[in-house]
Structure 1
Amino acid sequence: MELLNGLGGFGGSFLFYALPFLFVLTVVVFFHELGHFMVARWCGVKIEAFSVGFGPELWGFTDRHGTRWKLSVIPLGGYVRFFGDENVASAPDSEAVAGMAEDDRRASFHGKGLGARAAIVAAGPIANFILAVVIFTVIFTTIGRFVSPAEVETVVPDSAAAEAGFQPGDVITAIDGRAIGSFSEMQRIVSTNPEVELTFRVDRGGEEVVLAATPELQEISDPFGSTQRIGRLGIQGVVGGSATMKRYDPFTAFVMGLGETWFVVERTGAYLAGVVTGTQAADQLGGPIRIAQVSGEVAQLGFAALLNLTAVLSISIGLLNLLPIPMLDGGHLLFYAVEAVRGRPLSARAMEIGFRVGLAFVLMLMIFATWNDIRHLANL
């Protein structure tokens, strides 16, 4: 009954979730496929279709190059289909390529050299990272970032901070050699490094003090009902204080956008590595239902928050596609790496087996993520 209630509540607010979800996913998928498309066009590959979504076409048009641009029924991805592809995963149609005239072979994806094929495949994830940097840059330039000094007002008794020797009035200026410009920046580093010893450089009344502290691991529930495992130091900042919303010039905002993108890459990579090694729980992996829920909730915070979520999701999609799994871009790049070492492509049979294994893995991952979503809804 709890599960039905959760699903019923979700379904009852369909538009509340659906519109932000479609916005976020459409933007991320479009730019991912646009990366493939643009580099393929530059390399002289004939492109048959550019689709946002899978399944039957809802709307589309054909451009002067013969490419069919379309929106499809199932908005959970997209694809660019190249001339000579057997399917939307860009598996080669070996017989068709072998029987092509020379001009047609040169216009096909699989008729291109190894470097061109690798560049076309890598362009999708790279476009996702570029999109994230651009979004962060625009946010930091036009809206800004909330900034407050990393000043300690209160030290929680018996906490990691108390044990390390923090005192009220301390201003944290650096962590592990990285300069700290705000309390929120300090919080983010601490929260993402539970049970990891960190070195803090502190300004204490004009005197520099170096302290070592290990944030304690704590589990909290975020506003979306998910359980997060974070690090807690045990300090509280000055409430109000000299906090300001600061806008940045475009160059500074761009550099900050690069840093923000790398931070998400680093933390996502660390989490995935933790899942593989067993140090992180896989229950945080979410699928379309979770993305829809979070998109709807974040949209209520404003368009800037939804853009920020779009950037984070774009990075996640880029990283996911770089995993060395056949069917994903990383799987294609793995095949090309093997081809570069061997001096010739893998056999059609070997690639077919690889694609089948990759498809099975992707389907299992989708089922697992969806099951996590359903369990999450049941606990709302």
Structure 2
Amino acid sequence: MEMVQTVLLVVLVFFVIVSIHEWGHFFFAKRAGILVREFAIGFGPKLFSVKKGETRYTLRLIPAGGFVRMAGEDPEIVEVQPGQTIAVRVEGDQVTRIYLDRLDERTNVVRGEVVTIDLEKDLKVTLDVEGETESYKVHPQAFMISKGRDTQIAPLDRQFGSKTVGQRALAIFAGPFMNFVLAFVLFMIYIQMSGIPVENPDKVMIGQIVEGRPAASANLQVGDEIQTINGVAIGGNYQEMIRMIGESADKPMQWTVIREGQPVELEITPMMDPDAGEGKVGIAPSFPMRSASAIETVKYAGNAMVNMTEVILEGLKKLVLGDFVLDDLGGPVRTAEVTGQIAQQGITQLISWTAILSLYLGIFNLLPFPALDGSRLIFIGFEAIRGRPVDPNRESMVHFIGFAMLMLLMLAVTYNDILRLVRG
């Protein structure tokens, strides 16, 4: 049961951070009047699909992100050419359905050869029906039916490219922005749940134990209060504790900790850390906490955003400069593994981790790499400077190449993650 609960929590974390990102795109696209054809979580084959209003909501197989498909971003409707035979269904005085195939099976339709057709500006179709020319207005929400698929037409004023530079930039930037908002809110919730350290603490406790280090083998436990080391009272003097441990590499130390109100005697031998040049036992401290006020909650959440942003940018810098090995990277498999481990530590830690993932997703998507939101914003900015858009076909090709490169990297790190799990 615990494993099932952990898996569900991992799925929920991915679903929340991806959904809020795509909802940002979706909401501001709809506000700008753009026709949103699909709101998808995941990539690849559809697992679940439901249509509500003009938008189809889908859950796809590969949990590596999501997308909002807006009208006009990519070629999406089969073009109808003059001379082509089609069938239209007319309701009132407007065409509501345009059929391109299986015409003999269609009922209550007008069948004819296309003389002229405009589905973007004038919304009008003229047909040659048994030698007679007939013209019809096309409803702005008419559907084109071909090969069993119903596709709503997109008049020019409903397409992404017809909107102002500001509207398009806002629709693109809104995705990462919503991730930043989610991260900030989750950090505030985490601070409200965990509290903040008291000033001048009078005790130091074990907050985390690193596996494979002396503290783990000595039976230290998270929550233990460190009372004395080698007979010296520690109190709240964490720096003194660090000094004593650092000077005692490979030397046994006598620790007294308070566990569940009772003193426990332990012997711990710090191991030499070659990088630091001093002894380490593999612990992280925790201090007495108190409830945070509303102002403190906002302040500490802001500090967490700034600090984690610096850490994330430093990691991305190493990625750009190539200062990494493949094992340093983690794909969906490793991220899910770490998320599962954190979920087992409790909901408070999971909320903090979700905030970090949301912040990372927002920052990563703003990178100026093809197929990411940052690259699309660069194209929009370039259009604003030069006064005309880049050739849509060229831009689509750039994004396609970038997406392919990202998928190849994803496959590589996922393969490496699976090998790492198999090898233990």
Sort the TM-score into its range (normalised by shorter chain): 0.5 to 0.7
Contact 2:72 2:160 in 1 (8 A): yes
Read off the aligned partner of 2:389 and give its amino acid letter: P
Q: 1:99 to 1:16 in 2, by over 3 A?
A: same
Q: 1:52 to 1:283 in 2, by over 3 A?
A: same
1:39 aligns with 2:83: no
Measured against aligned partners, the alpha-carbon deviations of 1:265-289 in whole angstroms (never above 9, x if no partner) come to: 1111111112333444453211111
1:137 aligns with 2:188: yes
TM-score normalised by L of structure 2: 0.61
Give the distance between the partners of 1:20 and 1:77, measured in 2 at CA: 17
Which residue does the alignment assign to 1:23? Answer: 12
Which residue does the alignment assign to 1:265? Answer: 309
Q: 1:353 to 1:48 in 2, by over 3 A?
A: closer
Q: Cα distance, 1:313 vs. partner? A: 0.8
Give the distance between the partners of 2:163 and 2:69, measured in 1 at CA: 15
| Secondary structure class of the residue paired with 2:367 | coil
* Superposition map of 1:55-204 within 5 A: 55-63=45-53, 66-86=54-74, 100-101=120-121, 104-145=155-196, 148=201, 151-156=238-243
Contact 1:46 1:107 in 2 (8 A): yes
- The structure carrying a bigger strand percent of its residues is 2
Read off the aligned partner of 1:152 and give its amino acid letter: Q
Give the distance between the partners of 2:239 and 2:410, measured in 1 at CA: 44
Read off the aligned partner of 1:70 and give its amino acid letter: T
Q: 1:239 to 1:344 in 2, by over 3 A?
A: closer
Contact 2:49 2:56 in 1 (8 A): no
Read off the aligned partner of 2:185 and give its amino acid letter: V
Q: Cα distance, 1:36 vs. partner? A: 0.8
- The structure carrying a bigger helix percent of its residues is 1
Q: 1:378 to 1:28 in 2, by over 3 A?
A: same
Give the distance between the partners of 1:125 and 1:351, measured in 2 at CA: 21
Contact 1:146 1:246 in 2 (8 A): yes
Q: 1:95 to 1:150 in 2, by over 3 A?
A: farther
Give the distance between the partners of 1:359 and 1:313, measured in 2 at CA: 21
Measured against aligned partners, the alpha-carbon deviations of 1:208-265 in whole angstroms (never above 9, x if no partner) come to: xxxxxxxx984xxxxxxxxxxxx798799x9989x31222122321221122122111
Read off the aligned partner of 1:74 and give its amino acid letter: I
Contact 2:326 2:413 in 1 (8 A): no
Give the distance between the partners of 1:142 and 1:158, measured in 2 at CA: 32
Q: Cα distance, 1:120 vs. partner? A: 0.7
* C-alpha RMSD of the superposition: 3.5
Contact 1:289 1:370 in 2 (8 A): yes
- Alignment partner of 1:324 out of 353, 368, 372: 368
Q: 1:363 to 1:53 in 2, by over 3 A?
A: closer
Give the distance between the partners of 1:47 and 1:116, measured in 2 at CA: 14
Read off the aligned partner of 1:49 and give its amino acid letter: E
Which residue does the alignment assign to 2:298? Answer: 254
Give the distance between the partners of 2:161 and 2:360, measured in 1 at CA: 28
Contact 2:46 2:58 in 1 (8 A): no
Give the distance between the partners of 2:244 and 2:25, measured in 1 at CA: 54
Contact 1:275 1:281 in 2 (8 A): no
Give the share of equivalent positions with the same residue, in percent. 31
| Secondary structure class of the residue paired with 2:65 | strand
Which gives a bigger RCO, structure 1 or 2 (Cα 8 Å, sep 6+)?
A: 1
Which residue does the alignment assign to 1:245? Answer: 289
Give the distance between the partners of 2:237 and 2:180, measured in 1 at CA: 29
Contact 2:40 2:59 in 1 (8 A): yes
TM-score normalised by L of structure 1: 0.67
Give the distance between the partners of 1:34 and 1:261, measured in 2 at CA: 21
Q: 1:67 to 1:353 in 2, by over 3 A?
A: closer
Read off the aligned partner of 1:29 and give its amino acid letter: V
Read off the aligned partner of 2:157 and give its amino acid letter: R
Structure 1 residue runs without a partner (length 5+): 1-12, 163-215, 219-230
Contact 1:325 1:358 in 2 (8 A): yes
Q: Cα distance, 1:31 vs. partner? A: 0.4
Which residue does the alignment assign to 1:369? Answer: 413
